[in-house]
Chains A and B, each alone.
Chain A
């Protein structure tokens, strides 16, 4: 296909999009990304089909990706002819009939469970979707299509200016595109924040005819899902960015290395590649330009270290994913020994926007040294969880308290950068987020995972969690990482068991610094960060474990006890029934008894006491000195 034919096709696409925007029959839109499905979107889907049939309406059901506020999923939107799209939240199957009946039979816009409408006009009792406090402060550039277009429909993408950046690219020299990206100031979104244009230039300048372009979709940070969401919601954006990048560096073969834990994202990509190939956007002589590109998907196999670029290359080649020291950098000696560029999903997904709108447009967002926007996944103990996109430089306070709506309990810390990052305390809440500020604070930007922690999170337990993760994911090639992280973990483990003393703090610090300075790859070099930052900012919590043998958050298993407060217990027997070990006994209507010897601390009694039991708060989880207090009051 050449550009002319693409123009013809785009005109058809615009019609398809128009039929979606100015629909003649009702459309029901379901957010069915992995998160939506986990919340039950497919059950809602079945209910929609059933109700539509029952009400005898002719309606289309369309699937879109995640629009961001995952905590409100499943989301169901209804778009009546001539009316704006209206979104409803937490739509379990039993709510479907009421809402659809309202639209179809009573000719109204039901206001119960409504999240907002997408129109410009004011509608009585129905707020505007984009005015929602989680969405209003956001700037959606890379996420512009997510949750809006049908990800499996290339016409939707084409109609929303899709592949225009590719057309522009192919009519310019590779070096011009590289310069454009360099001028935009975009830095790699995979973690390290290396200027993307510069990375492309190194590869462009490297001698050799055979070069490779790789998209890193391994998304190894456990607790982050920005890349998954983008791929599931707008797969063509990634493909377009990948094709542009390949052209700029002079590669004729590209790989997408994606973790196997993301089956739906893989499916979306496979489909998108098939569609783009059919239109001649991938393959031989792309749009008549003479540029060839093949794209292959490689699935990761469950190794965190394979997100590191040199390990990733080994893995694609069919080896154990062992990192090697750099230099030589992949730009000189990469996949199969050839010059290679590796970019993250979000980096590549942003490229088409930059090419279409220009470098100045993009660098108009963000801070001096960190341009543009960044996506973050908000998770943990924050009210509104989900995926967000904000300009670089927004403060953590705005993100957590305005967009995220704050916490249910007092704020303790925010974890950024995953296993390579750190925990930042309250004093950093007003720090504008960018690469340099986060690094200065002792953490890192990382790929965009933000885990919010409250009083119920134990900082030491979290540090131990990360070290357990890194020590088990260490590939074992270098001693500092293999032995050092194991050692850090063991010390932390002892602290959480109340079996350590303050000398251990120094050991953690000196060992942590030693590993940082001597490990072979980024995994080891950053693995001590979670310990070092928490020791620095939350020393009192460490001290409580060591000195008082107490876990202030009542999390560390060896230090907590489950107790029944006799005054609160009405003897309703709910906990007796759910206790799996028979640790709780007692006749009805009398305070029950909890045998600590038999208790496995599984939490079932605690949960049932809050949800089901007559009294409510009779079971407490306490630690150290508090325990005695709790039982006597």
Chain B
């Protein structure tokens, strides 16, 4: 194996079953998603069948199996955000991006996803774009932020 990031993740793992989820997390952190090829490599290293790996990975909401868009938008769907109008933010994003939750926009610029809670409930509703959390959002504020990303 060459010294690409994927193989170093695999080499650094202890090779035990317990490592499966951490390895999947690291692979996704590097590659952006879990590809068929990486499942194959993980399967050989951890000696777990590809089917089994798929079974575990699909159980957890964190893992995705298609390449991500350029920017990752997460709308919080926690209770506080829901009560403060999170649903309207989803409607707005789906309309503005012409994509449904869980999809990537046609130009590959944005992924639209939901998250159970980001722990900023006191500042609800919140939306996370890449690593930045935007708090106390309104439909209009969200549209402004979105425009900044669209133009960038």
B119 touches A34 (CB 8 A): yes
If A35-B122, A38-B123, A469-B77 are given as contacts, then 9 extra A-B residue pairs at C-beta distance below 8 Å, sorted by A number, are A34-B133, A38-B126, A222-B79, A225-B121, A317-B18, A318-B20, A380-B79, A380-B83, A604-B139
A559 within 8 A of B: no
Known A-B contacts A222-B116, A581-B95; the reply to A320 vs B19 at CB < 8 A is: no
Selected from A224, A301, A473, A600, the residue in CB contact (under 8 A) with B121 is A224
25 A-B residue pairs with CB within 8 Å: A34-B119, A38-B123, A38-B126, A38-B134, A223-B79, A225-B120, A261-B115, A298-B22, A299-B21, A301-B21, A301-B62, A302-B116, A303-B61, A317-B18, A318-B16, A321-B60, A385-B121, A386-B122, A451-B83, A465-B82, A469-B77, A580-B95, A600-B91, A602-B91, A608-B140
A37 to chain B, nearest CB (A): 7
B117 touches A301 (CB 8 A): no
A222 touches B78 (CB 8 A): yes
Query: Number of residue pairs across A and B with beta carbons under 8 Å?
Result: 172
- Residues in A whose Cβ lies below 8 Å from that of B16: 318
B117 touches A223 (CB 8 A): yes
Which of B62, B81, B121, B135 gathers the greatest number of chain A CB atoms within 10 Å?
B121
* Residues of A589-623 whose CB lies within 8 A of B: 600-604, 607-608, 611
Question: Could you tell me the distance between the alpha carbons of A581 and B96 in the complex, rounded to whole angstroms?
Answer: 10
Which of A261, A315, A318, A611 gathers the greatest number of chain B CB atoms within 10 Å?
A318
A333 to chain B, nearest CB (A): 17
* Residues of A58-99 whose CB lies within 8 A of B: 70-71, 73
Interface size class of A (residues with CB under 8 A): 35 or more
Closest to B87 in A: A557
- Residues in B whose Cβ lies below 8 Å from that of A493: none
- Residues in A whose Cβ lies below 8 Å from that of B71: none
A457 within 8 A of B: yes
A469 touches B25 (CB 8 A): no
Question: Could you tell me the distance between the alpha carbons of A221 and B123 in the complex, rounded to whole angstroms?
Answer: 16
- Residues in B whose Cβ lies below 8 Å from that of A378: 122
A320 touches B56 (CB 8 A): yes
- Residues in A whose Cβ lies below 8 Å from that of B136: 39
A262 within 8 A of B: yes
Question: Could you tell me the distance between the alpha carbons of A301 and B56 in the complex, rounded to whole angstroms?
Answer: 11
Which of B95, B119, B135 gathers the greatest number of chain A CB atoms within 10 Å?
B119
Selected from A39, A219, A222, A379, the residue in CB contact (under 8 A) with B77 is A222
Question: Could you tell me the distance between the alpha carbons of A304 and B63 in the complex, rounded to whole angstroms?
Answer: 14
A445 to chain B, nearest CB (A): 16
A478 to chain B, nearest CB (A): 16
B83 touches A37 (CB 8 A): no
B28 to chain A, nearest CB (A): 9
A554 to chain B, nearest CB (A): 12
A578 within 8 A of B: yes
A415 touches B79 (CB 8 A): yes
- Residues in B whose Cβ lies below 8 Å from that of A317: 17-18
A377 within 8 A of B: yes
Question: Could you tell me the distance between the alpha carbons of A318 and B78 in the complex, rounded to whole angstroms?
Answer: 27
B124 within 8 A of A: yes
Known A-B contacts A228-B119, A379-B80; the reply to A600 vs B133 at CB < 8 A is: no
Interface bits A377-418 vs B (CB < 8 Å: 1, else 0): 111110001110000000000000000000000000001001
B138 to chain A, nearest CB (A): 5
Q: A-B pairs with the 5 shortest C-beta distances?
A: A223-B79, A70-B122, A302-B61, A301-B60, A222-B78
- Residues in B whose Cβ lies below 8 Å from that of A178: none
A459 to chain B, nearest CB (A): 11
A114 within 8 A of B: no
- Residues in A whose Cβ lies below 8 Å from that of B17: 317-318
Question: Could you tell me the distance between the alpha carbons of A597 and B17 in the complex, rounded to whole angstroms?
Answer: 55
B109 within 8 A of A: no
* Residues of A438-458 whose CB lies within 8 A of B: 449, 451, 453, 457
Question: Could you tell me the distance between the alpha carbons of A480 and B143 in the complex, rounded to whole angstroms?
Answer: 42
- Residues in B whose Cβ lies below 8 Å from that of A219: 117, 119
A598 to chain B, nearest CB (A): 12
